[in-house]
Each structure stands twice: as structure tokens, then as C-alpha cells.
Structure 1
Amino acid sequence: MNIKYLDLIDQTYYFPQEEFDLKENNLFFHGIDLMELIQTYGTPLKFTYLPKISENIQRAKSWFNKAIENHQYKGTYNYCYCTKSSHFQHILNEALKNDIHIETSSAFDIDIVEKLQKTGRINKNTYILCNGFKRNQYVNNIARLINNGHENCIPIIDNYEEIDLLCKATTKEFKIGIRIASEEEPKFEFYTSRLGIGYKNIVPFYEDQIKNNEQIELKMLHFFINTGIKDNAYYWNELLKCLKVYIKLKRICPSLDSLNIGGGFPIKNSLQFDYDYQYMADEIINQINIACQEAKVPVPHIFTEFGSFTVGESGGAVYEVLYQKQQNDREKWNMIDSSFITTLPDTWAINKRFIMLAINRWNDEYERVLLGGLTCDSDDYYNSEQNLNAIYLPKYKKDKPLYIGFFNTGAYQESIGGFGGLQHCLIPSPKHILIDKDKEGKLTTTLFREQQNTNEFLKILGYDK
């Protein structure tokens, strides 16, 4: 009878997988000995495996460039990173090794861009696409970038007032894009995105505010849907509607030459994950090519904005199971040494799934459990709803420590969790480790941030002034 945790994983999934392997009953992730990491730094901890960022960028570039070659597409492909997924310097430094561009969403993003310019990570050929609803400081920061000579700073117009605001703040001519307010998936509580300008209003908007304004030049149409890039009728229908707007606008606006199809490539959230990235890139390029050829207009240069896809699969979180509580005859609660609400807030906020695996004791018998966090909040848990399937782990034994890992957690969790700030029930943010490779390909680890301490909390709360 197959009763070991290893047997369960082996009969449920194809294992090992590209990033996961097992050595001496302990889990390895991209060659990282996770037990060695635990023994060196303790738990709870978070880590970022930096080489995965470059790997995913290069993968996406190869998919789109191959599609462009296959379809003899006359435009170029440009990869942008959405900084809102993770603003950390080590993330941007790694991403910018790969000749990419930047998408921003708020005023302080521009300050980061300027810091990156000073260090030579960004130059004036780097596209800075400024999304989001713009007021005061954001407008002024964008204008400062333009006034200082960054000609490839392209504010993406989100509402009818932004052109006037930007024109008043700038002293130079500049390029702009327009964001389309896409129609949401039928299951949404509203029909149209709050972001951007409606399909039917874009051409009149161009005629009214852009066509005769000598200070601005329309270069880009921006298209994005919340569900991401999926091979379903909803995505293809919205893409075709976007292309109709692009064609109609291109016929009256010769300067328009770029189409930003936004982001939305998914990341691996289970060991059963299956997504044909090459097919989707190929079909997107094919659909754009066909639509433009039939309309007899030049094809646009393609921009994508990948945030989660860029950084998500680089991250992980490691916890120890501290104790097991048997609350009734069916439910066993494994209590971790941290909090899901504070360290993986998307598990609590949107029932987001991450890959969850035991790190050690794979040769032990397994049991069905629920996972609980340390806060006194009833929502601080991770169960089958988030995990898609029931959670099974090696049996809890007081004298045999059990460690678990959550993987592909690198996007948004630190920002949403309030990195370095107050945490629910004052549960401290865990230590954070950066993992890289040296010139010989050997793994290196660096402590980026220690676990929060009492003094940090007291200072934030005003007790230590």
C-alpha cells in the first residue's frame, strides 16, 4: 500500500519537474537545497531566486520573436516589466539585464526610474509607459522625466483631463498612448473597466483633443483585460474589438504605430499546470497580422507588460509546522510559525493558489490537514479551497520537525502585505534571502532583510520617538 508522502506526489503528479527535485527525501527548488537554507537562516523565511526572472523574460521574448518570424510580421516586439508586481531594487536590476522596458502605475515609480537612470540601468532609449489614473504628483513627475529629455516616456491616457494636465506641466513635445476601457468578463459585477476610455469614444477623443494638438503625438493604443491572456472566446473577442479600434484610428492617425496588448501570461500555480505559451504568442501575432492585412494598414509594433510572469516564479516562502491541533474528529490543524494574511495575503484576499509542498520527510506517512496561521483572525488559514485539492502532508510528529514551502509567490505579496510596516496582530515579516548564481554558475545567498523586531513595530506605532 502506498502510504508515503513521496508515493502520494508520485501517483498524483508528474514528478520530478523542471524546477523541483528530490534528494535524500528533501525537496530542491531550481537546485536550491531548501533544508540547507533552513539550517542556515531558520524559519519563517522568504527567498527570491533571481535567475528565474531573466529566464522568464528570455522565454517570452523567444516565443514572440518566433511568432513574428513564422508569420513574417513586419513589426517588432518589446517586453515591458510592470513595476507594481515588485518594486525592489534587486528585482529591477535583474530584469533590466535583459534589454527590456518599464511600465509604471504611480508617482513614486518615476522616482525609481530616475534612480535607475543615474546608475545606468535605464537609458533614454528605454520606453517608460506610464499607466494609471494621473493627478498632481504623478503628472508632475512624468513631466519632469519628459522635460529632462526622456523622449521614450509615453504617458498612457486614462481619462479625458490628462492631456491638458500633462501639456501644462511639460515644456516639450511628447508622445502619448490611449488605454481602451475593455469590457469585463460576464461574471464581473460591472460591464466595463474603470480604466481607460470606451471603445466607441476613442476616435472622437482623438479628433477632439489630439489631432490638432501640436505638442503631442499619438503613438500607442493600450489593451488589457483582467482575466489575462487565455485561449477562450472572451479574450479573442476583446482582442478583435481592440484591433478594429486600432485600424480605424490608424487610418486617420499616421503616427500611431504601436499596440500594447498588456499583460496576463499566467504563472505556474500547481504541479498540474498546463499552458501553451508558444501557441498563444503565435496566435496573437497571427490575429493581428490577419486583421491589419485585410484592412490594408501597417501592422503595429507589439508591446507586452508582464508583471507576475516576470517575477512571480522567482519567489518562495518557507515555514515550520509548530504544532498540530485536533479540533474535532475530522479536522487537524497544522499551525505554521507565521501568518498567511501577512506573508501571503493573496491566499486570504482572493483565494489565490500557490504550489505548496513539504520540504522534508517525504518518506513518512501522510495525512490530510488544514493549515493555520499565528494571528487570532479566523481567516488566517490555507485550505483545499485555495489549494484546489485537499492538503496532504507528512504526519505531524512532535520530535520530527516538518517544514513546508509555498512557491511562485514573488509577485505582489510583499507590497500587499506591507513590507517593513505594521502586520496583523504584530506578526513580524520574515527574513528575506536573495539567491543568485556567480560567474561559475554556483548558487550564492545573501540576507536582504532580517525578520522584523519589536523596536521597528514600536517606532511605527509611536511608542519609540
Structure 2
Amino acid sequence: MNTKYIDLIDQTYHFPQEEFKLDGENLMFHDIPLKQLVEQYGSPLKFTYLPKISDNISRAKNWFAIAMEKYQYKGKYHYCYCTKSSHFKPVLHEALNNNIHIETSSAFDINIVEHLKQEGKIKDDTYVICNGFKRDQYITNIARLINEGHRNCIPIIDNYEEIDLLSNEINEDFKVGIRIASEEEPKFEFYTSRLGIGYKNIVPFYENQIRDNDKVQLKMLHFFINTGIKDNAYYWNELLKCLKVYVKLKKICPSLDSLNIGGGFPIKNSLVFDYDYQYMIDEIINQIKLTCDEAGVDVPNIFTEFGSFTVGEAGGAIYEILYQKQQNDREKWNMIDSSFITTLPDTWAINKRFIMLPINRWNDEYERVLLGGLTCDSDDYYNSEQHTNAIYLPKYKKNKPLYIGFFNTGAYQESIGGYGGLQHCLIPQPKHILINKDAEGKITTKLFNEQQKAEDLLKILGYEHNK
């Protein structure tokens, strides 16, 4: 009878997979021995596997190159990384090693850009696409970057006042983009995105504020879909509406030469994940070319803004099962040594799914469980609502430690969870490990940040000043 955890996985999924395999009864992730990682650094811990960032960037560039060659597409392709997904210096350094560009969201992003320029990681020809609702400090920082010579900084106009605000602080002429306020998916509580300018208002906006303004040149139309790039009627309908605006604008605005198809690719969230990236890119390129050819205008250069796709699959979290609580006849709660609310906030806030697998004991018998966090909040759990189905793990045994891993958690979880700050119920932020490969392909690890200590939290709360 097949009662071992490995038997359950074998009969449910295709296993091993590209990033997951076993070494005996222990899980390997990209050839990283996770059990050894826990033994060296302890639990709980977060990790970032930096080579996966470069790998995903290379994959996307290759997919676009194939599509553009297939359809004889004359425009250029520019890969942008959304810094809001993960602002950490090692992440930016790894991403920028791949000759890419970046997209910013707020004022402090520009300070990071300036720091990276001083280090030589960002060059003068690197595009810095500035999104978001801009006021005061963000406007000032963008203007400073452009005034100091970064001509490829392109603020994306989000509302009717930003042209004047930027013009007042930028000394010479500058380039801009316009963000389309796309219509949201029908299930949303509102019809139109709060960001950008409506489809029908873009051409009048260009005619009223940009066409006769010698200081401003329109270079880019920015199209963003909140749900990401998906093969459904909603996405293709919004893309075609965007392309109609592009060709209409292109006919009266010769400087317009770029289309930013923001809205990211999905990342793997289960062992049965299936998404045809090449097909989607082929079809996007084909639709853009068909529309432009029919209208008799040149195809645009293509910009993409990938955040989660760039860094999501590089991250992971490891916890130990501390204890099992049998709360009724059917429910067994495995308590982890941290909190889902604080360390994986998307599981709590939006029921986001991540791949969850045990790190060790794959040859043991399994049982159905619920996973609970350490806080006293009833929402601090992970179950079948977030997971692809019911959660099964090797049976809890007090004298045999069990570790579990959550994978592809590298985007947004640290910033949303308030990395380094206060956490719910004062649960400390776990230690953070950087994983890399040296020139010979050997795995190397480095401690990026220690687990928070009581003194760190007391200082934030003001108690240190009472000494």
C-alpha cells in the first residue's frame, strides 16, 4: 500500500521537476540542499536564490526575440524590472547584470536609482520609467535625475496636472509617456483603473497639453492590466482598445515610438502550473503588428515591466513544525515557528497560492493537516483556500523534526510585510539568506540579515529612550 509522502506526490504530479528533486528523503531546490541550509542557519528563514533572477530575464528576452523574428517585427524590445517587487540591493544588482531597464513607483525609488548610478549599475542609456501618482518629492526627484543628465528617464503621466508640475522643475526639454486608464476585469468592484487617463481622453490630452509644448515630447503609451497577461477575452479586448489609441495617436504624433505593455507574467504557484509564455508573446507581437500594418503606421518599440516574474521564483521561506494540535475529530493543526500574516502576507490578504512542500521525511507516512501561525489572530493560517487542494504532510512526530518550505515567494512579501519593522504580535522577522553560484557552479550562501531581536522592536516602539 502506498502510504509514504513520496508516493502521494508521485501519483498526483509529475515529479521530479526542473527545480525540485530529492536527495534521499530530503528536498532539493535548484540543487540547493535545503535540509543542510536549515541545519546551518536554523529556522525560520527566508532565502533568495539570485541566479533564478537572471535565468527568468534571459528566458523572456529569448521569447520576445523568437516572436519578433517570426513576425519580422522591426521594433526593439526592452525588458524593465519593477523595483517595487523587491528593492533589495542584491536583487537589483543581479537583475541589472542582464542589460535591462527599470520601472519606479515613488520618490525614494529615484534615490535608489541615483545610488545604483554611482555604483555603475545603471548607465545613462538605461531607461528609467517613472510610474505612479506624482506629487512633490517624486516630481522633484525625477526632475533632479533628468537635470543631471539622465535623458532616458521617462515619467509616465498619470493625471492632467503632472505635465505642468514636471515642466516647472525640469530645466530642458524632456520625454514623457501617457498611462491608459484601462477598464478593470468585470468581477472588480469598479469599472476603470484609478491610474492613468481614460481611453477617450488621451488624444485630446495630447492635443491640449503636449503637441504645442516645445519642452515636452511624447515617446510612450503605457498599457497596464492589473490582472497580468492572461489568455482570456478580457485581456485581448483591452489590448486591442489600447492599440486603436496607439495608431490614432501615432498618426498625429511622430515622436511616439514605444508601447509599454505593463502587466506581468504569472509565476509557478503549484506543481501543475501550466502557462505557454511563448504563445502569449507570439500573439501579442502578432496583434500589434497586424494593427499597425492595417493602419499604415510603424510598429512601436516594446517595453515590458516584469516584477513578480523577475524575482518571484527566486524566493522561498522555510519553517519548522513546532507542535500539532488536534482541535476536533477531523482537524489537525500543525503550528509553524513563525507567522503567515507577517512573513507571507499575500496568503492572508489575497489568498495567494505558493508551492508548499516538506523539506525532509519524504519517506514517512502522510496525513491531512491545516497550517497555523504563531500570532493570536484567527486569520493566521494556510489551508486549501490558499493551497491548490487539501494539505498533506509527513505525519507529525515529536521526536522527528519536520520542516516545510514555501517557494516562489520572492516578490512583494518583504515590503508588504514591513521588512525590518514591527510585525503583528511582535513576531520577529526571520533571518534572510542569499544563495548564489560561483564561477565553477558551486552553491554559496551568505547571511543577509539576522532575525530581529527584542532590542530592534523596543527601539522602534520607543522603549530604548527610557533607559
Asked if TM exceeds 0.5, the reply is yes
Separation in structure 1 between the aligned mates of residue 408 and residue 172 of structure 2, nearest angstrom: 43
> Hey, what does 1:336 align to over in structure 2?
336
Calculate the TM-score normalised by the size of structure 2. Answer: 0.99
Equivalent runs, 1:196-275 vs 2, <5 Å? 196-275=196-275
Calculate the TM-score normalised by the size of structure 1. Answer: 1.00
Cα RMSD (Å): 0.4
Separation in structure 2 between the aligned mates of residue 23 and residue 11 of structure 1, nearest angstrom: 19
| 3-state SS in 2 of match to 1:370 | strand
Equivalent runs, 1:58-207 vs 2, <5 Å? 58-207=58-207
> Hey, what does 1:276 align to over in structure 2?
276
Separation in structure 2 between the aligned mates of residue 440 and residue 322 of structure 1, nearest angstrom: 38
Structure 2 unaligned spans of 5+? none
> Hey, what does 2:370 align to over in structure 1?
370
| 1:103-160 C-alpha deviation (Å, 9 max, x unpaired) | 0000000000000000000011000000000000000000000100100000000000
Equivalent runs, 1:445-460 vs 2, <5 Å? 445-460=445-460
> Hey, what does 1:303 align to over in structure 2?
303
| 1:196-217 C-alpha deviation (Å, 9 max, x unpaired) | 0000000000000000000010
| 1:287-342 C-alpha deviation (Å, 9 max, x unpaired) | 00000000000000000000000000000000000000000000000000000000
**Amino acid paired to 1:302:** I
| 3-state SS in 2 of match to 1:165 | helix
**Amino acid paired to 2:298:** P
| 3-state SS in 1 of match to 2:262 | coil
**Amino acid paired to 1:429:** Q
Tell me whether 1:27 sits opposite 2:27 in the alignment: yes
**Amino acid paired to 1:149:** G
| 3-state SS in 2 of match to 1:386 | coil
Identity of paired residues, percent?
80
Separation in structure 2 between the aligned mates of residue 457 and residue 343 of structure 1, nearest angstrom: 16
Is the 2:221–2:260 Cα contact (8 Å) retained in structure 1?
Answer: yes
Separation in structure 2 between the aligned mates of residue 65 and residue 76 of structure 1, nearest angstrom: 9
Separation in structure 2 between the aligned mates of residue 2 and residue 172 of structure 1, nearest angstrom: 72
Separation in structure 1 between the aligned mates of residue 22 and residue 107 of structure 2, nearest angstrom: 45
| 3-state SS in 1 of match to 2:386 | helix
| 1:52-73 C-alpha deviation (Å, 9 max, x unpaired) | 0000000000000110000000
| 3-state SS in 2 of match to 1:245 | helix
Q: CA deviation at 1:172?
A: 1.1
Q: CA deviation at 1:263?
A: 2.7
Separation in structure 2 between the aligned mates of residue 323 and residue 33 of structure 1, nearest angstrom: 24
Separation in structure 2 between the aligned mates of residue 269 and residue 90 of structure 1, nearest angstrom: 24
**Amino acid paired to 1:445:** T
Tell me whether 1:7 sits opposite 2:10 in the alignment: no
> Hey, what does 2:345 align to over in structure 1?
345
Separation in structure 2 between the aligned mates of residue 115 and residue 263 of structure 1, nearest angstrom: 27
Structure 1 unaligned spans of 5+? none
Separation in structure 1 between the aligned mates of residue 325 and residue 441 of structure 2, nearest angstrom: 44
| 3-state SS in 1 of match to 2:155 | strand
Separation in structure 1 between the aligned mates of residue 264 and residue 229 of structure 2, nearest angstrom: 5
Q: CA deviation at 1:2?
A: 1.0
Separation in structure 1 between the aligned mates of residue 279 and residue 431 of structure 2, nearest angstrom: 39
Q: CA deviation at 1:27?
A: 0.2
Q: CA deviation at 1:388?
A: 2.1
Is the 2:227–2:263 Cα contact (8 Å) retained in structure 1?
Answer: no
